[in-house]
Amino acid sequence: MKAARQKQKQYMPQQLQRRQIFDFAAAYPDETVVAFGTAIMVASYRIWTLELLTREQEHSLKSQQESMKIREQLYQKNEKDMQNEHKTLLQKYNTMRDLKQRMEASIIERGKAGEEVLGNVLSECKVQNIIKDFKLQHEISPGKRPDAVVEIIDGIFIVVDCKAPYPPYDLNEQSRREYADKLKVHIRQLGDKRYNSTLDQQCLMVTLMMLPGEGYMQAAYDQGKDVYELYKFARDRNVLVLGPNGLRSLLQVVKISLEEQSAQDMLSDRQVNENIATTIQPLWMVSLLPFLRRVSTLLESIIKTWNSNVDNIVAFDKGLRDILDLAKTRKTELPKKVTLPKPIGEE
């Protein structure tokens, strides 16, 4: 009941307002029409404004949608471009990797080919009696394994190492200089290893660096001239750079030189022996030996004379010291009997 009354009280002002409005409209019809028209205009304006806002929002939404479409298209295009670029980079990487593998394989193959050429040259030299023997990949000390250790003659060795740097395609100045720099790197590394000082046997001080072909040598020279001073650079590091033919010729020259030196040494020894036989031997037999025999006979006679009188001399010395009260020092003490040395050859 109370709730109903409260509800009735809430609606009463609204009913009163509506009644007042109707009463006002009946009393003032013209003003009511004006007010009603004004209300309609205000409502229309609000509706028109709302419609404009709605259209603007729709236009903005469409613009955003179009912008999103454009961005999505750009994103898809960029993604596609990035995928294509990634494929291109991957292809370039694979190409570079293949080139690197081929280059490494080429270096290995050229190194093997150079070692094979070195082995063939040394085998021919051994058959032709230019060298006595050789060993390939012989470890002369821990971590030091040259390509070859060559025994030229008995007990005299030389170390040979093969290098095969990639020769230049074009023989212009820049390519030659770069190739010469590569050779200098190999020369420096070979000189720093000091193979010749590591060998226990007698070894020649120079280390030979063989290139697998004569063209490898010609590529470093300009019309036969050593413009990049490779020879001096190698000589300062006790290294000699040559090709297969140069290696064969050098080994032959070294062997001939060593054999000549050995022959001269033997000749010198023979001359010494002849001088001994013709000069020293007669001098010894005719002059010195008879004199030494006389000296030994005289020495034997003196020793016998001394031993027979030493007791009397020692007794006299002792009595004289007591009478004259001389100092008794071992520095002036007379020796006792002397033993005769045994002849040579007797025990």
Considering the domain boundaries, does residue 288 fall inside one? Answer: no
pLDDT at 154 (0 to 100): 81
Considering the domain boundaries, does residue 253 fall inside one? Answer: yes
| Interaxial angle between packed helices 244-275 and 29-127, expressed in degrees from 0 to 180 and rounded to the nearest 10 | 40
Considering the domain boundaries, does residue 145 fall inside one? Answer: yes
Total domains in the fold of the chain: 1
Q: What is the pLDDT of residues 77-87, one digit of tens each?
A: 888 888 888 78
Q: What is the pLDDT of residues 45-70, one digit of tens each?
A: 778 888 788 888 878 888 888 888 88
Question: How many beta carbons lie within 10 A of that of residue 216, not counting itself?
Answer: 22
Question: How many beta carbons lie within 10 A of that of residue 86, not counting itself?
Answer: 10
Calpha distance 328→311 (Å, rounded): 18
Query: Between 176 and 167, where is the model more confident?
Result: 176
Q: What is the pLDDT of residues 295-339, one digit of tens each?
A: 777 777 777 787 777 777 777 777 777 777 666 656 566 666 767
Considering the domain boundaries, does residue 100 fall inside one? Answer: no
The pTM score is: 0.47
Question: What residues contact 150, with CB distance under 8 A and at least 6 apart?
Answer: 122, 131, 133, 134, 157, 158, 159, 160, 251
Considering the domain boundaries, does residue 1 fall inside one? Answer: no
List the domain range (segments joined by +) for residue 132: 110-269
Percentage of the chain lying above the pLDDT 90 cut: 0
Considering the domain boundaries, does residue 342 fall inside one? Answer: no
Considering the domain boundaries, does residue 212 fall inside one? Answer: yes
Q: What is the CATH number of the domain that holds 121?
A: 3.40.1350
Question: What length is written for the chain?
Answer: 347
Among 9-13, 95-99, 184-188, 224-228, top mean pLDDT goes to 184-188
Confidence tier at 105 by pLDDT (50, 70, 90): very low
What's the N-to-C CA distance of the chain in angstroms?
Answer: 164
As a three-state string, the secondary structure of the chain is CHHHHHHHHHHHHHHHHHHHHHHHHHHCHHHHHHHHHHHHHHHHHHHHHHHHHHHHHHHHHHHHHHHHHHHHHHHHHHHHHHHHHHHHHHHHHHHHHHHHHHHHHHHHHHHHHHHHHHHHHHHHHHHCCCCCEEEECCCCECCECCCEEEEEECCEEEEEEECCCCCCCCCCHHHHHHHHHHHHHHHHHHHHHCHHHHCCCEEEEEEEEECCCHHHHHCCCECCECCCCHHHHHHCCCEEEECHHHHHHHHHHHHHHHHHHHHHHHHHHHHHHHHHHHHHHHHHHHHHHHHHHHHHHHHHHHHHHHHHHHHHHHHHHHHHHHHHCCCCCHHHCCCCCCCCCCCCCCC
pLDDT at 247 (0 to 100): 87
Q: Which residues of 18-35 are buried (b: 16+ CB within 10 A; e: fewer)?
A: eeeeeeeeeeeeeeeeee
Considering the domain boundaries, does residue 69 fall inside one? Answer: no
pLDDT at 110 (0 to 100): 58
Lowest mean pLDDT among 21-30, 122-131, 188-197: 21-30
Using the predicted structure, report yes or no on whether residue 104 has a pLDDT greater than 50. no
Calpha distance 204→181 (Å, rounded): 26
Query: What are the distances in angstroms from CA 178 to CA 6, 174, 220, 221, 229?
Result: 110, 6, 9, 12, 13
Q: Which two tokens stand for residue 341?
A: 């040395």
pLDDT at 194 (0 to 100): 85
Region 94-101: what's the mean pLDDT?
62
pLDDT at 25 (0 to 100): 61
